[in-house]
């Protein structure tokens, strides 16, 4: 993944690590983190300033929930979706369907999610302590 200065047209950094194409990238709201998802079924969390890879997460993930630093994040494994806490990775919920991670939306507090699968809309209200 290459990071560019759009105004000057200069390449600032090359972030290496994914083994296949990128299919989703997002910056954190404060600009300190970059999250990238790849066809190699991994998500990488990068420090935007140092360009160091901070975390590698295996499995299909929703980069929007990860980059926002919300208390929960979604993980797709085959035909199911698992919701886990962002800090400790503890599973808190399981769904027997794989949500469309490109279309998952979160409320500002990270506890209200919406997604669609095969023409059905799913609304989720996540509860509990994300830092047990």
Q: Which long-range contacts (CB under 8 A, 24 or more apart) does 119-125 make?
A: 122/95, 122/97, 124/83, 124/93
How far is residue 119's CA from residue 32's CA, in Å, rounded to a whole number? 36
pLDDT at 51: 92
Homologous superfamily of 2-125: YVTN repeat-like/Quinoprotein amine dehydrogenase (2.130.10.10)
For position 67, what pLDDT does the model report?
Answer: 61
Tens-place pLDDT, residues 79-91 = 777 787 777 777 8
Residue spans per domain, the chain? 2-125
- In this prediction, the residues of the chain whose per-residue pLDDT falls under 50 are none
Q: What is the pLDDT of residue 100?
A: 60
pTM exceeds cut of 0.85 = no
């Amino acid at each position: 993944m290459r990071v560019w200065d759009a105004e000057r047209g200069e390449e600032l950094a090359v972030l290496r690590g994914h083994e296949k194409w990128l299919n989703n990238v997002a910056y954190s709201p404060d600009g300190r983190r970059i999250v990238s998802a790849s066809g190699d079924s991994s998500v990488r969390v990068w420090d935007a300033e140092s360009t160091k890879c901070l975390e590698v997460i295996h499995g299909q993930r929703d980069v929007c929930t990860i980059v926002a630093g919300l208390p929960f994040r979604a993980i797709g494994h085959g035909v199911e979706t698992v919701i886990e806490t962002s800090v400790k990775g503890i599973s808190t919920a399981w769904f027997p369907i794989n949500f469309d991670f490109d279309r998952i939306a979160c409320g500002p507090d990270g506890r209200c999610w919406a997604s669609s699968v095969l023409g059905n809309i799913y609304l989720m209200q996540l509860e509990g302590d994300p830092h047990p």
